[in-house]
Amino acid sequence: MKELLLISLFLTIVSVPLTIASESPQYDVIIVRSDLPMDWVIAQAYAQKSGVPIVVTNPDYLDDDVKDQLGGYLASGFSNLIIIGGEEAISPMIKSRLDDMGFITHRISEGDRYGTSARVSIELFKEVEGVVLVRGEGYEGLLVAERVASSIRGPIMFVKGDKVSPSVEKALVTIGVKKVYLVEGISPNIREDLLSKGYDLVIIDNGWKGESNQYDSFYIPLVLGIVLGAATILIWVRFRKLEDKVSFTILTKDEEKIVKYILKNGGVLTQDKLPEVTDFSRPKVSRIIMNLSNRGIISKEPYGKTQKLTIKKDFHD
């Protein structure tokens, strides 16, 4: 899993100069919650335009894999991070954790998905030729909307019912676009309203292939970036595996006793078993576990009334 996260990071680094060579993105990383396709779609439009990666997370906490991925971005100098969605989408605790890690965070949100899509468009998209409007009540048009946005390198905004919300209307005016791409299924009333306001409309169906070769020209360099990036990663991961091995000599005798017992049990053990098998007091076990956790040697997570401990390092004698 960690290797996949590392590949994601380095493919982004390698492919960005090839795909977006003329653009310097304002932000380095986007984070969205993992169970809201709407937030991911509007984030993806900016990611495609600027070549920045998207990280998905549980809405309430950062799990170890996500923290490892984010740590990799920080180590590579990527520190400006956008949070898409309000505090109900991405909790304040996650923002606080990101701040503690060293990220410079900026949250983009409004009261609902329609307002948030409009705010993202205003803040992140400048001098675009067109925008994509798609119904925000369901998922059926999202894939097509994402495809169109990737081709025109413009934002995606959501509409609901028979009219465009005031926040989306404001975004259209603020961005100053004249061409609006409507994904099939949008109300005829919305079409008529936009036409009356002078917008040039393009109706998109599921078979849309683009108005020119823009789509292909965008992805050909990306494929080249992926090929080069994959080769780089395979070499990098092989060396990293060797570097990740650590010696037991970095541990105190008490720490080594605990680590070896956890390793003997497959690398995972609940903390409540350690006092009995080590003859250490519970406070002493807690202190040792806290120190090992702070040093990144083990991870711990709540498990009933105790903690589940997992060895994160590959030890050798």
For residue 281, give Cα distances in angstroms to 175, 269, 271, 273: 64, 17, 12, 11
Q: Reduced to 3 states, what is the DSSP secondary structure of residue 213?
A: coil
Query: What pLDDT was estimated at residue 139?
Result: 81
Structure pTM? 0.59
Q: Are 62 and 91 in contact (CB under 8 A)?
A: no
Domains along the chain with CATH numbers: 1-109+216-245 (no CATH), 113-211 (3.40.1010), 251-316 (1.10.10.10)
> What span, in angstroms and rounded, lies between the C-alpha atoms of 173 and 164?
12
> What span, in angstroms and rounded, lies between the C-alpha atoms of 138 and 287?
50
Query: What pLDDT was estimated at residue 169?
Result: 93
Query: What pLDDT was estimated at residue 245?
Result: 62
Query: What pLDDT was estimated at residue 238?
Result: 52
Query: What pLDDT was estimated at residue 208?
Result: 57
Q: What is the residue-level pLDDT of the chain in tens, covering all 317 positions?
A: 444 444 444 444 444 444 444 455 678 899 999 888 888 888 988 888 888 889 999 988 888 888 888 988 888 888 999 999 988 889 999 999 999 999 999 999 988 889 999 999 999 988 888 999 999 887 888 888 988 998 888 999 999 888 899 999 999 999 998 999 999 888 899 999 999 999 999 988 765 555 544 444 444 455 555 555 555 555 554 545 444 566 777 788 899 899 999 998 888 999 999 999 999 999 899 999 998 888 888 999 998 889 999 998 887 66
Find residue 314's DSSP bridge partners: 245
For residue 35, give Cα distances in angstroms to 70, 81, 229: 19, 19, 28
Q: State the helix-helix crossing angle for 2-19 and 64-75, rounded to 10 degrees.
A: 40
Q: Are 54 and 41 in contact (CB under 8 A)?
A: no
Query: What pLDDT was estimated at residue 27?
Result: 87
